Amino acid sequence: MGAKKEETGEKKGSFWKELPLLIVIALVLAFVIKTWVVQPFYIPSGSMEDTLQINDRVLVNKLVYQVRDIERGDIVVFNGTGTWDEPGVEAPESGNAVNRLFTWVGQQLGVQPTGKDYIKRVIGVGGDTVECCDAEGRVLVNGEPLDEPYLYPGSQDTHTEFGPVEVPEGRLWLMGDHRQISYDSRLHQNDPGEGTIAEDEVVGRAFVLMWPVDRMRTLPIPETFDSLNEGGGGGEAAGSPDGGGAAGPVAAAAVPAAPLLLGAAAAVPVRRAGRSLWRRRPGSGKSHAGDSGE
């Protein structure tokens, strides 16, 4: 009886000793997931209203464009350094090292703007001709007018003529959903790229609005782009985490803390695998029998 109590006490003590290491492993794995898989981003301006509002947080899928092309209607985060210089979204600078650290952490968690990443909707891809406007004030892509119910109210009435613009291959024509205030491709035509952004500058696709909770939902491609994208379904299956459909709110609720949750879930298996490899190392003096105690 005493031996069992002693063994139980040793197991509890071992757990508390390993807890800090498990936390470190979880944080490292979460950082890896955030860097290459999914990352939260903060919305600093009203250029995507009403779809996205100031202080919203979105999750960005960084892997989706490894398996499919960027499509019209996607909401993308991209790096505008050297091409766009959008006013009003710069991250605050600080000479204090501690403040800089907290700013960096906030940017990684998606609670502060980065000052170099922007978010817009893809209107045209390489080879498209984009122009404005038809008799109803709509934007045209390859001669096809876009019905855009997602626009900020009254946006269509504020459209001014531009184009036709031929989008070069490998580049994108991007516009915000609040057309009157969005500093987008239309206003960057005198900048390098003539208003377009290279596909290589795209960080990923915003697929979930995760904050505030009362507006949590997925961000599917609007139906107006179906015929242009030739898929008839906006590029994703309905109900998928990266698409839309009835399962959208459920998927949105499941992924806000995805990097940290996945990192935590993987921490224990990674630790166990490491211990197992260490015990098998020649000269370790450990036998496989000890594994059953974990």
Per-residue pLDDT tens digits for 24-59: 666 666 555 555 578 889 898 999 999 999 999 999
Model pLDDT, residue 1: 54
Q: Which domains does the chain have, with CATH numbers?
A: 32-256 (2.10.109.10), 257-294 (no CATH)
Q: Tell me how far apart the alpha carbons of residues 264 and 193 are, in angstroms, rounded to a whole number.
A: 42
Among 142, 145, 139, CA closest to 126: 142
Residue 120 annotated among the catalytic residues of the structure: yes
Strands 117-124 and 197-198: unpaired
CA torsion angle for 145, 151, 157, 159 (degrees, to 10)? -70
Catalytic choice (34, 45, 62, 120)? 120
Catalytic choice (47, 155, 182, 185)? 47
Q: What angle do CA 189, 192, 196 make, to 5 degrees?
A: 55
Strands 129-132 and 57-61: unpaired
For the chain, report the end-to-end CA distance as a whole number of angstroms.
20
Rg for the chain, CA atoms, rounded? 24
Model pLDDT, residue 232: 38
Model pLDDT, residue 38: 85
DSSP 101-139: HHHHHHHHTTSS--SSEEEEEEEE-TT-EEEE--TTS-E
Model pLDDT, residue 83: 79
Q: Tell me how far apart the alpha carbons of residues 107 and 262 are, in angstroms, rounded to a whole number.
A: 20
Model pLDDT, residue 81: 82
- Cβ 291 vs Cβ 276: under 8 Å: yes
Two tokens, residue 269: 């298996």
What stretch of H or E contains 207? strand 202-211
Q: Would you call 250 helix, strand, or coil by DSSP?
A: helix
Model pLDDT, residue 106: 53
- In this prediction, the residues of the chain whose per-residue pLDDT falls under 70 are 1-17, 19, 21-36, 85-115, 231-294
Residue 47 annotated among the catalytic residues of the structure: yes
Model pLDDT, residue 175: 98
